[in-house]
Amino acid sequence: MKRYRNGEIWDFEYEMPLADGASGVVLGLDGGTTTTVCICMPMNPFSNSQIESLPILARAVAGCSNHNSVGETAARETLEQVMADALSKCGSKRSSVRAVCLAVSGVNHPTDQQRILNWLRDIFPSHVRLYVQNDAVAALASGTMGKLHGCVLIAGTGTIAYGFTEDGKEARAAGAGPVLGDWGSGYGIAAQALTAVIKAYDGRGSSTTLTSSILQKLGLSSPEEIIGWTYADPSWARIAALVPVVVSCAEAGDEVANKILLDSVQQLASSVKAVVERLGLCGEDGKGTFPLVMVGGVLEANKRWDIGKEVINCISKHFPGVQSIRPQVEPAVGAAWLAWNSFMKEFQ
Amino acid sequence: MKRYRNGEIWDFEYEMPLADGASGVVLGLDGGTTTTVCICMPMNPFSNSQIESLPILARAVAGCSNHNSVGETAARETLEQVMADALSKCGSKRSSVRAVCLAVSGVNHPTDQQRILNWLRDIFPSHVRLYVQNDAVAALASGTMGKLHGCVLIAGTGTIAYGFTEDGKEARAAGAGPVLGDWGSGYGIAAQALTAVIKAYDGRGSSTTLTSSILQKLGLSSPEEIIGWTYADPSWARIAALVPVVVSCAEAGDEVANKILLDSVQQLASSVKAVVERLGLCGEDGKGTFPLVMVGGVLEANKRWDIGKEVINCISKHFPGVQSIRPQVEPAVGAAWLAWNSFMKEFQ
């Protein structure tokens, strides 16, 4: 166990009693592109069916921990600090930790996973079980009570589909960012809407009520000003915040907005279909049941034009056994459940 | 005439003879997103038909001067320095300048134009005629001997179509950057190709030879690594540099690459069509002749799959009077010709 180089993060441990009689705790982390959440739960030997009744001992929140966005050093500091905060809040220390599941965005390759595992290994005593996953996996677990089985579709600012079979095969689709065509995401929908405004203005596309609605929302007076607006700060979340405007225009009957949402439904459904087919989640006859966990602002029921519902309708046509789930807990709880489950499996 | 605040840029003028007997010079600037070029030409009273025989007195080069990319202060410093360099090289000073045409990317709105004009006004004596344009206009002028008439299509890293009628009406299409759908550009072509590789890999799209060709070009071993590669440096030019790979794959018969290039042709042609129609460049019967100046790496004749030629074929079907021109001089020369022409018109 190394002490952190600035020598402060773990200082609270020295002020705690030496004896630590409890059966220990697990940590679940959900590290997204805007916030990182760490949940601490007790390692009580409940049976699997009771996992949802495990109490949350502590919850800590920090900023972005995606190493692609903020760099390796800042990401590591953020993750270490948020774990220390959670343990400190519930009066536990690293020696009480039995398992950690770190589900963080930007884990796209086994080398990413291994790098983060090596570094976690330096922080915790050697008996602690460590699991590193893409943040999508925590979202899946939040809908399946910590079981890695089925598919999750996330559509917020970005989008990804991720799935697991019961025997541990995994597959993903999308989740590669807007440069690489995540067009069903909130960013994708909003960028298509902005493009439609520019095309209507310069004569390449049909006129649309998106023009007046988006200009009003952004406080701009002409579509030309949108160019400067996007250059000024091309952050994906800032652009994705325009999704409700697109939904409103579609609900009011705008054809261009409607087509953008229909395209987005197709894109999102195609990600799920790709994962389900590669993993054979639907069984050999294509009618097997499997859970589809739906997460993210784009999939939440918006008034009449419900993107999530349309995606499920589209997927049901191909896979009648799909069982959609909208989780009642946050992904960090899913990560903690996952840590708990993985630990129990290893020591059964 | 202000001296520059760091008091160095214009110092060379103090070492020059007081008398300045010549009939003066014009400056033409092409300020792009990677380089800025300034051309100095004599203001000799040639007739218009001889404009292409005007000698180039000096040529100076600097970095990016797009205020959207590098900020206002850096853009201004770059532009001022490159003008001083050009004048100094040919032994002229600001008092000899008759006209300046500054054609710079990022001029998307009359307010951009006015801001730059105000600032140029501070640098030069009040008798100097000043013209500020989008950099696309210099490219047009480079193909029309400095006349603002017809349409220019630029397709390099980005793309824009820009046109003028003889009585001074202007229109543009695209040129809004990748967020806003410039999909016919080099960036657009390459981003679609990278997307096709990701989609083939995760099961959303057909397999394609783009996968092996692009991975080899980038020195990567798996499509998953492309995600990290784009995050590492999402500069448009770095991505657009993959266009030759896409062209090679299409030439070798890859369907996915072929479709990407065909889509790009449609996108580029639709930009030209939008401008020609809005300005009525093709006359009332749609058969009138007008120049179409073609500029940029994407439109240059690549081996067999010639994007520029396909765009012209596509446009000829709608506007049989289109006369395509591939300029023999760089856009900065077009800007200098434009300064010369505009000055002569005002003082005829």
Q: What are the pLDDT digits (tens) for A106-142?
A: 787 788 889 999 989 999 999 999 999 998 999 999 9
Nearest to B271 by CA among B197, B162, B191, B169: B162
What would the two tokens of residue A200 be?
């209507």
Helices (H) and strands (E) in chain B, counts: 12, 10
Give residue A67's pLDDT band: very low, low, confident or very high (50, 70, 90): confident
Tens-digit pLDDT profile for residues B67-102: 877 888 898 999 999 999 999 999 999 999 999 999
How large is the average pLDDT for residues B196-206?
A: 96
Q: Supply the pLDDT for residue B20.
A: 53
What is the CB neighbour count within 10 angstroms for residue B49?
8
Tell me which chain B residues have a C-beta less than 8 angstroms from the C-beta of A171: 202-203
Minimum-distance CB partner of B179 among A106, A199, A239: A239
What is the CB neighbour count within 10 angstroms for residue B200?
18
What would the two tokens of residue A237 be?
């979340």
Q: Supply the pLDDT for residue B45.
A: 64
* B49 three-state secondary structure: helix
Q: Supply the pLDDT for residue B21.
A: 53
What would the two tokens of residue B118 be?
């105000």
Percent of chain A past pLDDT 90, that is, above it, reads 68
Minimum-distance CB partner of B204 among A179, A227, A271: A271
Minimum-distance CB partner of A68 among B179, B195, B231: B231
Tell me which chain A residues have a C-beta less than 8 angstroms from the C-beta of B179: 178, 191, 194-195, 230, 234, 239
CB-based contact B108 A228, cutoff 8 Å: yes
How large is the average pLDDT for residues A267-289?
A: 95
CB-based contact B194 A179, cutoff 8 Å: yes
Nearest to A179 by CA among B6, B187, B53: B187
* A81 three-state secondary structure: helix
- Integer Cα distance of A337 and A342 in angstroms: 8
Tens-digit pLDDT profile for residues A259-268: 999 999 999 9
Give residue B48's pLDDT band: very low, low, confident or very high (50, 70, 90): low
Give residue A9's pLDDT band: very low, low, confident or very high (50, 70, 90): confident
Say if CB A237 and CB A157 are below 8 A apart: yes
Q: Is the pLDDT of residue A45 over 80?
A: no
What would the two tokens of residue B253 be?
């018969």
Tens-digit pLDDT profile for residues A147-164: 999 999 999 989 999 999
Residues of chain A whose beta carbon is less than 8 angstroms from a beta carbon of chain B are 68-69, 106, 108-109, 112, 171-181, 191-192, 194-195, 198-199, 202-204, 222, 224-228, 230-232, 234, 239, 270-271, 274-275, 277-278
Q: Is the pLDDT of residue B4 over 60?
A: no
H helices of B203-294, where? 210-218, 224-232, 236-240, 243-251, 255-279
Q: Supply the pLDDT for residue B49.
A: 56
How far from A172 is each of A4, A152, A279, B206, CA to CA, in Å? 35, 9, 10, 16
- Integer Cα distance of A220 and B96 in angstroms: 42
CB-based contact A204 B108, cutoff 8 Å: no
Cα Rg of chain B (Å, integer)? 22
**What's the gap in Å between the CA of A315 and the closest CA on chain B?**
14
Choose the mutation target among B105, B107, B226, B231 for the interface with A, i.e. most A CBs under 10 Å: B231
Q: Is the pLDDT of residue A83 over 60?
A: yes
Q: Is the pLDDT of residue B217 over 70?
A: yes
How far from B295 is each of A102, B162, B324, CA to CA, in Å? 50, 12, 11
CB-based contact A228 B199, cutoff 8 Å: no
Tens-digit pLDDT profile for residues B135-180: 899 999 999 999 999 999 999 989 999 999 999 999 999 988 888 9
Q: B177's torsion region: left (phi>0), alpha (psi -120 to 50) or beta?
A: left
H helices of chain A, where? 67-70, 72-89, 110-123, 135-143, 186-202, 210-218, 224-232, 236-240, 243-251, 255-279, 307-318, 331-346
Q: Supply the pLDDT for residue B5.
A: 54
Return the higher-pLDDT residue of B106 and B196.
Answer: B196
Query: Nearest 10 degrees: CA dihedral of B35, B148, B144, B335?
Result: -30
Place of tokens 């003082």: B347
Tens-digit pLDDT profile for residues B5-38: 556 888 888 877 755 556 799 999 999 777 899 9
**Contacting residues for A338 by C-beta, under 8 A, at least 6 apart:** A28, A101, A103, A131, A133, A137, A138, A141, A146, A148
**What's the gap in Å between the CA of A58 and the closest CA on chain B?**
33
Q: Supply the pLDDT for residue A26.
A: 95
Say if CB B27 and CB B86 are below 8 A apart: yes
Q: Is the pLDDT of residue A98 over 90?
A: yes
- Integer Cα distance of B298 and B233 in angstroms: 22
Domains along the sequence of chain B with CATH: 11-133 (3.30.420.40), 148-327 (3.30.420.40)
Residue of A nearest to B239 (CA): A179
Q: Is the pLDDT of residue A199 over 60?
A: yes
- Integer Cα distance of A146 and B61 in angstroms: 61
CB-based contact A109 B277, cutoff 8 Å: no
How large is the average pLDDT for residues B184-197?
A: 96
How are beta strands B150-155 and B290-295 bridged, if at all? parallel
Q: Is the pLDDT of residue A14 over 90?
A: no
Q: Supply the pLDDT for residue A124.
A: 93
Q: Supply the pLDDT for residue B136.
A: 93
Residue A283, phi then psi, degrees to nearest 5: 75, 175
Nearest to B168 by CA among B137, B127, B135: B137
- The two most distant CA atoms of chain A are separated, in Å, by 74
Q: Which amino acid belongs to residue A239?
A: I
What string of DSSP letters covers A122-148? HHS-TTSEEEEE-HHHHHHHHHTTT--
How far from A7 is each of A17, A92, A121, A256, B196, CA to CA, in Å? 20, 18, 18, 56, 47
Q: Supply the pLDDT for residue B44.
A: 73
What would the two tokens of residue A183 be?
């067009």
Return the higher-pLDDT residue of A113 and B50.
Answer: A113
**Contacting residues for A19 by C-beta, under 8 A, at least 6 apart:** none
Residues of chain B whose beta carbon is less than 8 angstroms from a beta carbon of chain A are 68-69, 106, 108-109, 112, 171-181, 191-192, 194-195, 198-199, 202-204, 222, 224-228, 230-232, 234, 239, 270-271, 274-275, 277-278
Residue of B nearest to A279 (CA): B203
Q: Which amino acid belongs to residue B171?
A: A
Q: Burial of A163 by CB count in 10 Å (0-12 exposed, 13-18 middle, 19+ buried)? A: buried
Residue of B nearest to A160 (CA): B202
* A174 three-state secondary structure: strand
DSSP A322: E
- Integer Cα distance of A93 and A80 in angstroms: 13
- Integer Cα distance of B220 and B98 in angstroms: 54
Tell me which chain A residues have a C-beta less than 8 angstroms from the C-beta of B70: none
3-state helix, strand, coil in chain B (%, to 5): 50, 15, 35
Q: Which amino acid belongs to residue B258?
A: N
How large is the average pLDDT for residues A323-331?
A: 95
DSSP A3: P
Percent of chain B past pLDDT 70, that is, above it, reads 94
Q: Supply the pLDDT for residue B72.
A: 85
Q: Model ipTM?
A: 0.84
**What's the gap in Å between the CA of B270 and the closest CA on chain A?**
6
CB-based contact B68 A239, cutoff 8 Å: no
CB-based contact A109 B192, cutoff 8 Å: no
Say if CB A58 and CB A26 are below 8 A apart: no
Q: Supply the pLDDT for residue B56.
A: 93
**What's the gap in Å between the CA of A294 and the closest CA on chain B?**
19
- Which residues are B28's β-sheet partners? B39, B101
Q: Supply the pLDDT for residue A151.
A: 98
Residue of A nearest to B187 (CA): A179
- Mean pLDDT of all residues belonging to chain B: 90
Percent of chain B past pLDDT 90, that is, above it, reads 68
